[in-house]
Amino acid sequence: MTAETQIDSYLTALRLHLGPLTIAEREEIVKEIAAHVRDSAEEPGASVETVLARLGPAEALAAQYREGLLIRQASRSNSPLVLLRATLRLAAKGVSGILVFFLAIFGYAVGGGLVLTALLKPIFPANTGVWFDGEGHFMSSGVLFPPPGSQAHEVLGFWYLPLALIAGSLTLLATTWAIQTSLRVSQRWQSRL
């Protein structure tokens, strides 16, 4: 392989593994690494081969870029999908990451569930609500098919809609905030280590 083809195949591999970044970011990184390889190969006693070896495998280099980016972007994002992906990455790193991941799943499930049942209330008014039995003990809540028997009475009526909507939204907001905070903390922690 000539020096040029060696450089090209390294840069192609780098570009490939930088996949999740935007095209502009990716091309900028590739351009910078290309300049680095050409400049260092011209230093006395250096060759393209040794320079590429010192850079390490393209895949590992790309991984270092991606790692920083995913968590950084996610700590500013509100999208559950982006946040969950970032917590999954965090979970791979240790016990506290796993805890954050499960809390995230739990928070989204509860919050999303509440909002969903609120929206179902106008469609299935008799099946949606919070039920207590005759002695005032909580029986169940949510959307039930069939609705609980005659000994149960629903306590909220149409108040269920705004209340579940508010409670669900607050849960989703709190979950988002908690994930973003833990991502920021982990980022700071990572950059110190």
Partner 1 sequence: MAKTRTTAAEADQPDRWEAQLRKGAVEMAALASLWRGRLYGLEIIRFLENHSRLALAEGTIYPILNRLKAEGLLTSEWVEAEAGHPRKYYSLTETGRQRLRVMAEAWTSFSRGLTELLQPVLEEQENIQ
Kindly list the residues in this chain that would bind partner 1 in the complex (CB under 8 A): 28-29, 31-36, 38-40, 42, 51, 54-56, 60-61, 64-65, 67-69, 72, 191-193
CB of 188 to partner 1, least distance (A): 10
Nearer to partner 1, 55 or 156 (CB): 55
Nearer to partner 1, 40 or 169 (CB): 40
Nearer to partner 1, 72 or 85 (CB): 72
Nearer to partner 1, 75 or 141 (CB): 75
CB of 40 to partner 1, least distance (A): 6
As a whole number of angstroms, the distance between CA 141 and CA 119 comes to 14
CB of 48 to partner 1, least distance (A): 13
Q: Yes or no: say if 141 and 155 are a contact pair by the CB < 8 Å rule.
A: no
Beta strands 138-143 and 128-132 are antiparallel
**Dihedral of alpha carbons 64, 69, 74, 75, sign:** positive
Report the Cα–Cα distance between both ends of the chain, in Å, rounded. Answer: 39
CB of 113 to partner 1, least distance (A): 36
Nearer to partner 1, 130 or 183 (CB): 183
* Structural Rg of the chain based on CA atoms: 26
Secondary structure class of 145 (helix, strand, coil): coil
CB of 64 to partner 1, least distance (A): 4
As a whole number of angstroms, the distance between CA 108 and CA 99 comes to 14
Q: CA 145 from chain center: how many Å?
A: 34
